[in-house]
Amino acid sequence: MKLVLPVLADSDIQKEIAKEVKDGLNHTGFSVEVKSLEQSEYLREVYMLGNYDLLISSSGDWQKPSAYKRLMQNSQGLNTSTANEALQSSLQSLSHVYDWKSLEKSLKETNTVINQTMPVIPVARQKEFVAVSADLQDYKMSQYDAFIHNVWEIRVK
């Protein structure tokens, strides 16, 4: 099976992550075509045509349970909604916790269900980064450093 992964042509970070994703998926029998696109082509292919199978994107503010609900509805303008009852139930329980112990338990359950439901390849610790931004151009260098230091490994089930 061949999967298309668009990346921004001038983003070295995206190119490096795409290389790791491609290498990791090749070992599982998937072929990944990394398409290096200029920004206008990228916007057209991803947001207008939906011409991709894999996508490098980011979401922040993972300390708040509402971030998980946002991810399940919309990620950078792309619809990621799902009708999975287990996911809806875990998100509901996550939004009703009031102490740290319950929050940790609920976060673990929610992340397990997300990993079983959503087509996401985690590239870092779940409370910091779930995936990588499509465009880090306007970020300060200190945020790049925070990102680099939090990446542990890329795993594919």
List, in sequence order, every residue forming a beta bridge with 4; answer none if it has no partner. 33
Global pTM value? 0.49
pLDDT surpasses 70 at 54:
yes
Q: How far apart are CA 85 and CA 88, in angstroms?
A: 5
Q: What are the sequence ranges of the domains in the chain? A: 2-150
Do 17 and 132 form a contact (C-beta atoms < 8 A)? yes
What percent of the chain stands above pLDDT 90? 12
Do 49 and 19 form a contact (C-beta atoms < 8 A)? no
The closest of 97, 106, 157, 142 to 127, measured between CA atoms, is: 106
Q: Which of 72-76, 102-106, 135-139 has the lowest mean pLDDT?
A: 135-139
Q: What is the pLDDT of residues 10-47, one digit of tens each?
A: 989 899 999 988 988 888 888 999 999 999 999 888 87
Q: What is the pLDDT of residues 107-132, one digit of tens each?
A: 888 888 877 776 554 443 333 344 44
Residue 134's pLDDT band (boundaries 50, 70, 90)?
very low
Q: How far apart are CA 18 and CA 102, in angstroms?
A: 36
Residue 81's pLDDT band (boundaries 50, 70, 90)?
low
Question: Which tokens sit at 66?
Answer: 């509402």
Indicate the CATH number for domain 2-150: 3.10.105.10
Query: Which amino acid belongs to residue 100?
Result: W
Residue 133's pLDDT band (boundaries 50, 70, 90)?
very low
pLDDT at 63: 63
